[in-house]
Structure 1
Amino acid sequence: MNKNFVNLIFSVALLSPAFAQEKPLKAFPLSAVRLTESPFYNAQQTDMAYILAMDPDRLLAPYLRESGLKPLAASYGNWENTGLDGHIGGHYISALADMYASTGDKEILRRLNYMVDWLDKCQQQNGDGYVSGVPGGRAMWKDIAAGKIKAASFSLNDKWVPWYNIHKTYAGLKDAYLIGGNEKARGMLLKLSDWCLNLVSGLSDTQIQDMLRSEHGGMNEIFADVYEFTGDKKYLTLARRFSDMAILTPLLNKQDKLNGMHANTQIPKVIGYMRVAQVAGDDSWRDASRFFWETVVNNRTVSIGGNSVSEHFNPSGDFSSMIESKEGPETCNTYNMLKLSKELFLNDRSGKYLDFYERALYNHILSSQHPDKGGFVYFTSMRPNHYRVYSEPQEGFWCCVGSGLENHAKYGDVIYAHDDQSLFVNLFIPSTLNWKERKLSLTQRTKFPYEEQTEILVKVARPQEFALKIRVPKWVQGGSMKVLVNNKAVDVQHQESGYVSVKRRWKTGDVVNVHLPMETRAEQLPDGSPWVSFVHGPVVLAAATQTADLPGLRADGSRMGHVANGPLYPLDEAPFVVSNLASAAGALKPVDGKPLYFTASDIISDEKYRNLQLKPFHEVHDARYIVYWPIASPDALGEMKATLKGSEARKMETDKRTVDRINPGQQQPESDHGFKSENSEMGIQSNRHFRNATGWFSYDLKNPAKDARSLRLTYYGKDTNRAFDIYLNDVKLASETFGGEKGDRFFDVDYEIPEAVIRQGKDKLTLRFEAKSGSRTADIYFVRLLR
């Protein structure tokens, strides 16, 4: 046998079931990976410019104010001075830590240390370890410690999700220490953790579970992390106490109870379950986390890797709202799903987690920042012919701005991983890796996905043996991936979602070439409905349909500035794909000289759309676009168009008359409308949210043109023993008594606005539902103010 061949000792192995039983993999620190020229590198640099455009003193203002120190500058507006004060400051510290680790930029480090130093002053001023920007937080936490708990999904003791808010401070300090290397942040994090430990020490587990009905971010994750680096079990106990059993219990029993739930409230909890499982060796919590991931990724995720409609999990068997709504997948959800996927991958070593990670990274995350001007996207609409809006550095301070600051600063997170004997190449992103402990480096040179290959160059201080494991993506068809070492082919045998393992004695100058053939596929929505998205390799293709009529494209600081509130174009007027599913993808034709650009003129029904070019979704900006196309055979096209036209005409007519609307029982719509209540509760019936009360609840409806003339309420026909009054600006609108006589259906009732209210000429109408003594209001499913 040839001696050189013996020296190679090519061992091509697949990850067998026993693989998952091995010790968990380790992620490389961000500081070990440097991006090189690519869309990801460009996005990183754009993000850095946005970070540097923000004013640390304004972000610090809520913290100084709440600790009794004089702010150095005025607070930012938007969510930063309407109840979530300080949450972006926490995200900002995390982003600074990520960006410094990823780039080594000195100004980023200076800002990181500056933020931590000032928070330290605030913490010292408070004297008990507390530091936060929650408005009026000290008095509220005192009530909590005394057992005075009033929890709802988006509020706690009438404050806007204070645990969610302070979690960003915890996370910022953790990242400043573990990622940014700031030792001061470690001590501050421990003091803040002990403050929480003392705060809840007198509360029963039942009281804490009641409190956790309010969105609380990843508090359990934080305490699991603190336990891991301190070894002090009091923090592991605290992590378990901060784990919401209402969500965990169904997951432990492999039950999907997610329909209608506020998506990004749940995902951070599950990251926490997974972290507790990792540090405590709890297999049941690990299995629950896996089940959640499978449920969300396989049943609730669209082609770009995102999930949710208007922040909530849509029914897994009905994605119609995904197509109809302007409020599609929320970027924060995908930010957190990537964190969960990373932890599951490191634990299980399964490439399936990277298949999702790659899809979401290339398509949702990369597309969620404007590549030239910067700015972050909240909702990525899947409605054909709609668009997205982008934040401005001094204006928008939504949750997806906070997570967006982090997203584009940590692209090096899972490109590579390792154990003691192996180095894993997970993503094909141009980059360099410096594995200091092994005194080796890799350089990955590629234009992927614009070319179907990557080249890996090895550099070692001295020849050494290890296994280089290269991911075999799910989108590579069986047997078509090729691996060459120094131009000699490796006998690649693999199965879906595995890794090719090349074990040899490596030396400087060794070159690995990986050929990654891609093909175009048409993917239906998870519910199997007749809407398709075209995907080439891991890249979702989309078409820009027009660049005009994009009001609010650059969001202002208004409360709803993050929503693309421009007109909805009728779905029946969208371009249709006339084909069957099996042959649709084959009709896409590559555009010469433009990698990943395609035409589809042979299957697009409408003449005005036949010249559309499909291209990577992350390249589509400042435009209305289409990701999901209605698909029908030639025989069924007319019927599908007619059906859509009928339903769209009714909806569009109603939308034209609509002044304002509320989805009761949903977090953001209620928060946006000044929700107040006493003895009120929310629920879900037939996948629709509602709110009722034995006391009362109210909303502030917007009436800017003062032209509202009627109110439409949606009820459920089986509500019994309901007696209540409806008020508008303290004028009684109606008294209602429901006894279940309408049966098993939803129905609308229109109420004429009294002349007395119209004469008030107000641009805000306070709608109040008040139960009569001994009764309850009806379940209110939708509120619509009509002109």
Structure 2
Amino acid sequence: MHLNKLGCTLALALSALTGFSQVKPLEAFPLSSVHLLESPFKQAQQTDMKYMLALNPDRLLAPYRRDAGIETSTASYGNWENTGLDGHIGGHYLSALSLMYASTGNAVVKQRLDYMITELQKCQQKNGNGYVGGIPGGKAMWKEIEAGNINANSFSLNGKWVPLYNIHKLYSGLYDAWAVAGNATAKDVLIKLTDWFMNLTANLSEKQIQQMLRSEHGGLNEAFANVYAITGNKKYLELARKFSHQAILNPLLQDKDALNGIHANTQIPKVIGYERIAQLSGDTSWSNAATFFWNTVVNHRTVAIGGNSVQEHFNPANNFSSMIESREGPETCNSYNMLKLTKELFLSNPSGAYMDYYERTLYNHILSSQRPEGGFVYFTPMRPGHYKVYSQPQEGFWCCVGSGLENHGKYGELIYAHQNKDLFVNLFIASSLKWKEKGLTLLQETAFPYSESSKISLKLNKPSRFAMHFRYPSWVEKGKLKINVNGKDQPIKTDSEAYASVERTWKTGDVVTVTLPMHTSTEFLPDGSNWVAFLHGPIVLAADMGKKDLVGLNADASRMGHIASGPLMPLDEAPLIVSATKNMEPEVTPVSTAAMNYGASKLIYQEKYKDLKLVPFYTLQDTRYVVYWPFTTTSDLPKIIAARKAEEKIKQELDAQTVDRVSTGEQQPESDHNFKGEKTENGTFADRHFRNATGWFSYDLKNDAGNATKLRVIYFGREKNKNFNILVNNVLLKNVTLEGTGENKFVEVFYNLPAEAIKAKVLTVKFEAAPQSSVANVYEVRLMK
């Protein structure tokens, strides 16, 4: 996604605001002031509420009660909730309930929230020191931290699965319960929990704290900044600064993109924290760092739906091939956090470009990440012909279930905003607004995106003069947007590419009609490669590829149940777009304008795909689909077809021979394979992830069919002075010595498995350094037939 496609630059956007002066930051309305009317968003909201109320609060509270020593007969939920990340959904649940209650006023939701807060307070009181948490063995771990005994890796801290990330969800949930839903007890619990953390880390040096922050920690800095905001006590702002990760902040302060290969969602919450601290302290350098990060991710690392990352990591900005090849495409949590960051940046520095991105992501990723009957999506593959997997309420407890519970309860947060006495209309979503301080009630009626207009009716206690600022979306061609007040067209400045304003004395009965003509456009991947997506206005269009082999569509509680593990459609069989020019829009023709249904038969090369229709991506659920289409010119067609077949044959043969594999050094693949280790590090080299060790590390690989016969390991050929053992189920497989005599490239090495190991259902593969040596960088471990 490119900023020039999204609208004008931030400076131009600001200058285009008629009558706008930044006397104070823009303010969002409370969720309780905005109510959704009938629309896909209202439907998604209600589906989400049903899902969250189907959860058992006592099961979510079980980890906290157990840790506090409070007897409970209720078992924890399974999946991530009883394998080390116990309690993280409980924190998300507080936020989700708070957002949903504020948005709907539902009394049952409020009762559930109040119950959760009351029970968490009991756990805190039982602990007696301000602490409350669900981390297994957490109390012993925190004592180690307090004593300065810190052992941090990217997804572990002192042997625990990202405990700082885990507790951050509770901090955020408590803050939302107070700030969004008005629960005073939550504020008390939050402040005491923050004081506990401050005391715990009071004697740690800056170096020790930064060492801790190597482990994924969510947005702890934002959480502590929020405590400062509600107390005014500067010690909390200082705590927020101390727990800001310098390794990520420093390159951003220098306008350097150092994101290739790092875990994507680990970083976004940190940047939200940088921006929040900047807002509260006036530190423009930190705000500039957050803005640079946003620009980098949106312009160079984001696909058409608004999402980013492959297998949870930022792929190289100049190579999106993994995005097309992987079944693990953009992660929903990433978009959840990018929207949080976008909201903060927009309120600090209003720009249509921010809202263009916000709208794009809201419709095409967030709305598509929950199906109408319920269930949340972790990965949204961009690979042609693949599909999404959905959670079930009592089964899946991934991070994207937690953020998913929140996503669909806060659709009203930025439809409108205000500054001083002026009103901003940012999104064209059917809704009502009550601005109590202004004595204004607004009703926005629209079927957008199935219609190209929105009708806004006003009711005021008394006539009042103010400006209404209407976002001028980048997808509306210059000069095409129209604003009509009470039947009269209003003049619109031709250079107004961000917001168009109407200032007058408004009164009850005034009606504003905004006309938003849409057109079809194309968008290639950010690396410039020949993969193209189609859009109509801000809506990404995709094609339904059928329901064949949707393996694991409804995810079970297994560690990798969130991944769509069914057969991959060969890329050389994907629908191919052929055109003499990249100006393909005229060849995309409406079949049914009312239903946003389009045909592209003149562009599709294969006869069997000619009847495919382009429809809004967010409407495609429980099916395979195509968002990105391979493109070639007519003249290049023969060589492209030959190259596609050759490349895909190699990939398909490898996939067919694979029993199980681990992408070493990557957080979720390692967690899914029960990673263990001592004195081990992970990193990246030549845009590939690796793991090494001066101690050891191991993975459990599945061999359910008992058909694995060999192990394939990838090294770099010039590794030297490495001596280590590879063991399988504690049996020595091979002593490996690398002396740097190999090729200057990545190499694959095969090891035959011992006969006694072949029949085992699970193979524990262990890499163990020899005395006075180390394990080489291992880039992949794969079981082969």
Q: TM-score, normalised by structure 2?
A: 0.97
Amino acid at match of 1:82: T
Take 1:585 and 1:772, find their aligned partners in 2: how far apart are those partners? 61
> Counterpart of 2:530?
530
> Counterpart of 1:162?
163
User: How far is the alpha carbon of 1:18 from its aligned partner?
Assistant: 11
Change (3 A) 1:342 1:600: same
Take 1:461 and 1:17, find their aligned partners in 2: how far apart are those partners? 26
Q: Structure 1 residue 289 and structure 2 residue 290: aligned?
A: yes
DSSP-derived class of the 1:582 partner: coil
User: How far is the alpha carbon of 1:13 from its aligned partner?
Assistant: 10
DSSP-derived class of the 2:74 partner: coil
> Counterpart of 2:705?
705
1:620-664 alpha-carbon deviations (Å, 9 max, x no partner): 011100000001112222221221111111111111111110111
8 A contact 1:67–1:126 mirrored in 2:
yes
Take 2:251 and 2:143, find their aligned partners in 1: how far apart are those partners? 33
Take 2:673 and 2:498, find their aligned partners in 1: how far apart are those partners? 49
8 A contact 2:37–2:431 mirrored in 1:
yes
Aligned positions of 1:73-222 closer than 5 A: 73-222=74-223
Amino acid at match of 1:767: V
> Counterpart of 2:266?
265
DSSP-derived class of the 2:333 partner: helix
Amino acid at match of 2:737: T
8 A contact 1:14–1:493 mirrored in 2:
no
Change (3 A) 1:745 1:497: farther
> Counterpart of 1:354?
355
Take 1:649 and 1:299, find their aligned partners in 2: how far apart are those partners? 30
DSSP-derived class of the 2:778 partner: coil
Take 2:567 and 2:368, find their aligned partners in 1: how far apart are those partners? 22
Take 1:166 and 1:221, find their aligned partners in 2: how far apart are those partners? 13
Take 2:14 and 2:468, find their aligned partners in 1: how far apart are those partners? 11
User: How far is the alpha carbon of 1:22 from its aligned partner?
Assistant: 4.3
Which stretch of the first structure deviates more once superposed, 492-501 or 668-677? 492-501
1:765 is matched with which residue: 763, 766, 777?
763
Q: Structure 1 residue 657 and structure 2 residue 690: aligned?
A: no
Amino acid at match of 1:203: L
User: How far is the alpha carbon of 1:229 from its aligned partner?
Assistant: 1.3
Change (3 A) 1:13 1:149: closer
User: How far is the alpha carbon of 1:350 from its aligned partner?
Assistant: 1.0
> Counterpart of 1:255?
256
Take 2:508 and 2:73, find their aligned partners in 1: how far apart are those partners? 53
Q: Structure 1 residue 750 and structure 2 residue 750: aligned?
A: yes
> Counterpart of 2:9?
none
Q: Structure 1 residue 444 and structure 2 residue 444: aligned?
A: yes
8 A contact 1:58–1:72 mirrored in 2:
no
DSSP-derived class of the 1:412 partner: coil
> Counterpart of 1:60?
61
Which stretch of the first structure deviates more once superposed, 21-30 or 420-429? 21-30
User: How far is the alpha carbon of 1:593 from its aligned partner?
Assistant: 5.7
Take 1:220 and 1:450, find their aligned partners in 2: how far apart are those partners? 41
User: How far is the alpha carbon of 1:423 from its aligned partner?
Assistant: 0.5
Amino acid at match of 2:222: E
User: How far is the alpha carbon of 1:756 from its aligned partner?
Assistant: 3.4
DSSP-derived class of the 2:101 partner: helix
Amino acid at match of 2:776: A
Amino acid at match of 1:623: T
8 A contact 2:769–2:775 mirrored in 1:
yes
Take 1:84 and 1:20, find their aligned partners in 2: how far apart are those partners? 46
Q: Structure 1 residue 779 and structure 2 residue 777: aligned?
A: yes
Change (3 A) 1:658 1:551: same
Take 2:494 and 2:36, find their aligned partners in 1: how far apart are those partners? 29
Which stretch of the first structure deviates more once superposed, 730-739 or 340-349? 730-739
1:31-65 alpha-carbon deviations (Å, 9 max, x no partner): 00000000000000111111111111111111111
User: How far is the alpha carbon of 1:191 from its aligned partner?
Assistant: 0.4
DSSP-derived class of the 1:583 partner: coil
Change (3 A) 1:13 1:223: closer
Take 1:359 and 1:391, find their aligned partners in 2: how far apart are those partners? 24
User: How far is the alpha carbon of 1:704 from its aligned partner?
Assistant: 1.2
Take 1:175 and 1:494, find their aligned partners in 2: how far apart are those partners? 41
User: How far is the alpha carbon of 1:779 from its aligned partner?
Assistant: 0.7
Amino acid at match of 1:412: G
> Counterpart of 1:426?
426
Aligned positions of 1:611-690 closer than 5 A: 611-690=611-690
1:491-536 alpha-carbon deviations (Å, 9 max, x no partner): 1114364111111110001111111001100100000100000011
User: How far is the alpha carbon of 1:123 from its aligned partner?
Assistant: 0.7
Which stretch of the first structure deviates more once superposed, 130-139 or 631-640? 631-640
User: How far is the alpha carbon of 1:762 from its aligned partner?
Assistant: 1.8
Amino acid at match of 1:773: P
Take 2:66 and 2:283, find their aligned partners in 1: how far apart are those partners? 42
DSSP-derived class of the 1:139 partner: helix
Unaligned runs of 5+ in 2: 1-12
User: How far is the alpha carbon of 1:742 from its aligned partner?
Assistant: 1.9
> Counterpart of 1:507?
507
Take 2:509 and 2:57, find their aligned partners in 1: how far apart are those partners? 45
Change (3 A) 1:74 1:728: same
8 A contact 2:713–2:778 mirrored in 1:
yes
Change (3 A) 1:27 1:711: same
Take 1:146 and 1:474, find their aligned partners in 2: how far apart are those partners? 54
Amino acid at match of 1:435: W
1:167-220 alpha-carbon deviations (Å, 9 max, x no partner): 111111100000011011010100000010011001111100000000000100
8 A contact 1:62–1:71 mirrored in 2:
no
8 A contact 2:323–2:382 mirrored in 1:
yes
User: How far is the alpha carbon of 1:737 from its aligned partner?
Assistant: 1.7
Take 1:212 and 1:13, find their aligned partners in 2: how far apart are those partners? 36
> Counterpart of 2:10?
none
Q: Structure 1 residue 474 and structure 2 residue 477: aligned?
A: no
Amino acid at match of 1:219: L
1:239-262 alpha-carbon deviations (Å, 9 max, x no partner): 001100000000000000000010
1:354-405 alpha-carbon deviations (Å, 9 max, x no partner): 000000000000000011x100000000000000010001101000000000
1:116-149 alpha-carbon deviations (Å, 9 max, x no partner): 1110111111111111111111111011101111
Take 1:463 and 1:14, find their aligned partners in 2: how far apart are those partners? 29
Take 2:293 and 2:495, find their aligned partners in 1: how far apart are those partners? 25
> Counterpart of 1:313?
314
Question: What fraction of aligned residue pairs are identical, expressed as a percent?
Answer: 59
1:420-461 alpha-carbon deviations (Å, 9 max, x no partner): 121000000000010111111111110011000111111110
1:319-357 alpha-carbon deviations (Å, 9 max, x no partner): 000000000000000000000000000001111110000
Change (3 A) 1:185 1:768: same
> Counterpart of 1:721?
721
Unaligned runs of 5+ in 1: 1-11
Take 2:568 and 2:130, find their aligned partners in 1: how far apart are those partners? 50
DSSP-derived class of the 2:700 partner: strand
Take 1:323 and 1:430, find their aligned partners in 2: how far apart are those partners? 35
DSSP-derived class of the 1:48 partner: helix
Change (3 A) 1:445 1:701: same
8 A contact 1:355–1:497 mirrored in 2:
no
Take 1:374 and 1:340, find their aligned partners in 2: how far apart are those partners? 26
DSSP-derived class of the 1:721 partner: strand
Cα RMSD after superposing both structures: 1.4
Take 1:17 and 1:457, find their aligned partners in 2: how far apart are those partners? 22
Take 2:435 and 2:18, find their aligned partners in 1: how far apart are those partners? 28
Take 1:321 and 1:245, find their aligned partners in 2: how far apart are those partners? 29
8 A contact 2:303–2:525 mirrored in 1:
yes
8 A contact 1:20–1:348 mirrored in 2:
no
Take 1:63 and 1:666, find their aligned partners in 2: how far apart are those partners? 29
Change (3 A) 1:237 1:581: farther
Q: Structure 1 residue 24 and structure 2 residue 25: aligned?
A: yes
Amino acid at match of 2:31: L
DSSP-derived class of the 2:276 partner: helix
User: How far is the alpha carbon of 1:20 from its aligned partner?
Assistant: 7.8
8 A contact 2:377–2:391 mirrored in 1:
yes
Take 1:180 and 1:121, find their aligned partners in 2: how far apart are those partners? 20
Aligned positions of 1:331-480 closer than 5 A: 331-371=332-372, 373-480=373-480
Which stretch of the first structure deviates more once superposed, 775-784 or 581-590? 581-590
